[in-house]
Amino acid sequence: MRDLKTEILGFMKEAGRPITLKGLIQSLGVETAERNVFKKSLKGLVREGAAVKIRGERYGLPSKMNLVTGELSRHPDGYGFVAPETGEGEDVFINPRRLSGAMHGDTVVARVEGLKSGGKKEGSIIRILKRANKTVVGRFTFSRNFGVVVPSDTRLTGEIIIPSKDTAGAKNGVIVEAEITKWPDRFSGASGKVIEIIGDPKDADVEAEVILRKFGLPIKFPPEVMAEAKGVSPVVTAPDIAGRVDLRGIQTVTIDGETAKDFDDAVSVEKTQGGYKLRVSIADVSHYVSVGSLLDVEAYERGTSVYFPDRCTPMLPEALSNGICSLIPREDRLTLTADMDFDGNGNLTRKKFYESVIKSRERLTYTLVKNLLKGEDASLTEKYSHIRADLTLMEELALKLFEKRFEAGSIDFDLPEPQIIIDIEGRVEDIARSERNVAHRIIEEFMLAANKAVATEFSANKLPFLYRVHAEPDEEDIEGFIEFAGGLGVVLKRDGGPKAFQQVLKTVAGTPLERLVNHVLLRSMKQAEYSNVNVGHFGLAFGDYTHFTSPIRRYPDLVVHRLLKARIRGRYNAAERARMEVLLPEIAGRCSKRERKAMEAERESVDLKKVQFMKDKTGEVYPGFVSGVTSFGLFVELKEYFVEGLIHVSALTDDYYIYDEKRHTLTGERTRRRFRPGDEVTVVVNAVDIERRRIDLLLEGQVAKPPKSLFKKGAGSKGGLSTTEGKFNPRFKRAGAGKKGKRR
């Protein structure tokens, strides 16, 4: 059977010019019986953006006509960027007047029409191929004889007009979901109808639901999925154990956070004649979630669990995630084990994988392990005397693994994160500095070792596989970081690989610049993702890496478990290889997209909690440091709370301030007072805008009110060093890390 799409694209490339439908049919020798199928294939290419129809009923390739097909990312201030769908080439800047009614997330065709200052491409949207937002969540208000929905997603600029007959009885101020019945165009806005009243915006449950809906993340499990979950046995049976390696006699423990409920990894360690034996046993979710089942389809749709400060939206129903798949202490549980031997220096000497059954001896927390290793609490030491020697051995091995990784150039973004503390009524009680201790290091190193060992097994045998990859940064991004760091007196060696970045972090460690340089360096790097093509993991300095250790909360790990089981059972044959070569690229792409959506939602939830916490602190004074300098003002992070706000340039009332883009400074024209990243300042909280997640600050002693329009236009992107010139990409990119919280 002919692959018409491939033939059409191939001919268009050879032709070197746009061509008519008739010309395509004649040139490709399309028979009369094939013409309907041919026309559908051509329309499909146009719909996908791979080809474009222009004047004169001619078809051509976008790349040959100064056209770019891709997704529109729109900024709250109105402008946007079109990222090429191919992943190659620069984003195209779109002025608000040239959006042609396109909304954030739409797939569009943009025509490149010139260059902005700095050589950035600028253009207009000429066609909308696919609408991303069939419904919109937002706040409903009455306006004369009609209603208005103001989208909760500030990137969806423009209100949705709701005719009075389509308000569904919504009251003023409630959060609703509206279906768009008329799309916006270059002349008028969108209109729609209310299809669901969600509730009071001050309700914590409503807040969470709004964020999940905003990013298109599922909330409740369908009844049929819950029914299938209920049918899973809540206990391990004798037939389940048959054929597995029995590790129930081995002293195995779980180590997690205090509030964790889904325990998907357990560890054990032994001293051997040559060094150490480490067993990392991971919940065998694949035993209970079979390919194509309702549970599997739903897990694939979700892609990952989503963690907010006050709740979790799990990938799997609680009967599995907190029940039979959770490695609860003193209960039989099915696992997949990575069994690894290391020599005395932490070098891996042997590895094997097998299906197993374990019985965790203890459910430990990071804080408890830290205290046990310190040995300062006699009663605690006595209570856990049966495992304290094992924990000491774990610490010994983990530190050696870390040293090996560090020597290889692994970049360790090991900064404290904000811990949002919620009271029993769901309000933010405090924002504290989260603690990372030796117990976190133990688990992180053991999980990294297991992930690497599994990936190497497949890489060495050239089997189709799902890798976790992190490509090297682009040269342009490295140059941008070198310029930025140089302005702070920090030097990055060109062509130094991961070790050069590692040295930069070491230079700023413990200084006021530490958090800032870490964050900007993260933005300069590419985002880690899933791929069937192994390009290695730059941030970890690993040639082979995957995600194997969290199948309860990440779908890619579940896929890796299935592949590993096929390998263990000798079933990874030619037919299975061929099938995986087709399936894995699609799985990798979808799981990467779902992960990014979850990360955006998690960040927004944290941002919301931060501004809610600051709402009643207007007029209070805090020490902070300048975390970013832009043409429109200073971003300042409060030392006490990990909260960032903006001092608008109009609020710097003692002088006219000039922005130096290369040096990232604002300097007073008369006083020569200079502000640059890392400078310590004292600020006053002036205003808090919960809807736009923004905090307006003033320098202590400068009490002039900034303009009322501050939170509407021109305030720029919250956080970081993003500018409208795009010097640093405003989309936050993470290299990530190992377990719960970090995403490597």
Pairing of strands 190-199, 160-163: parallel
Q: Which amino acid type is present at position 419?
A: Q
- Can you give the pLDDT at residue 703? 56
- CA triple 633-639-642, angle to 5 deg: 80
Query: Which class is 4-62 in CATH?
Result: mainly alpha
Do residues 251 and 427 lie in contact, with contact meaning Cβ atoms separated by under 8 Å? Answer: no
> Who's near 33: CB < 8 A, 6+ residues apart?
none
Reported as a single tens digit per residue, the pLDDT across 54-64 is: 777 788 777 76
Q: How far apart are CA 149 and CA 140, in angstroms?
A: 5
> Is 66-130 a domain of CATH 2.40.50.140?
yes
In the chain, how many H helices and how many E strands? 17, 34
Helix/strand/coil for 249: coil
Pairing of strands 418-422, 348-359: unpaired
- Can you give the pLDDT at residue 118? 67
Do residues 254 and 263 lie in contact, with contact meaning Cβ atoms separated by under 8 Å? Answer: yes
List of the chain residues with pLDDT < 70: 1-2, 64, 87, 117-118, 414, 496, 703-743
CATH code of the domain occupying 135-201: 2.40.50.700
Reported as a single tens digit per residue, the pLDDT across 105-114 is: 999 988 888 8
Helix/strand/coil for 550: coil
> Who's near 378: CB < 8 A, 6+ residues apart?
none
Do residues 364 and 370 lie in contact, with contact meaning Cβ atoms separated by under 8 Å? Answer: no
Q: How far apart are CA 236 and CA 355, in angstroms?
A: 14
Q: How far apart are CA 395 and CA 444, in angstroms?
A: 11
Same fold, 4-62 and 618-744: no
Helix axes 294-302, 555-568, angle to 10 degrees: 130
- Can you give the pLDDT at residue 454? 98
Q: What is the pTM of this model?
A: 0.84
DSSP string, 633-648: EEEEEETTTTEEEEEE
Give residue limits of the domains in the chain: 4-62, 66-130, 135-201, 223-470+532-596, 475-525, 618-744
- Can you give the pLDDT at residue 438? 94
- Can you give the pLDDT at residue 1? 54
Query: Which class is 618-744 in CATH?
Result: mainly beta
- Can you give the pLDDT at residue 713? 39
Q: Which amino acid type is present at position 550?
A: S
- Can you give the pLDDT at residue 2? 65
Give the DSSP letter of residue 304: B
For residue 364, which of 384, 385, 389, 381 has the smallest C-alpha distance?
A: 384
- Can you give the pLDDT at residue 194? 95
Reported as a single tens digit per residue, the pLDDT across 452-497 is: 999 999 999 999 999 999 999 888 888 888 888 887 788 887 776 7
- Annotate 430-443 with b (16+ C-beta within 10 A) or e (fewer): ebeeeebebbbbbb
- Can you give the pLDDT at residue 175? 94
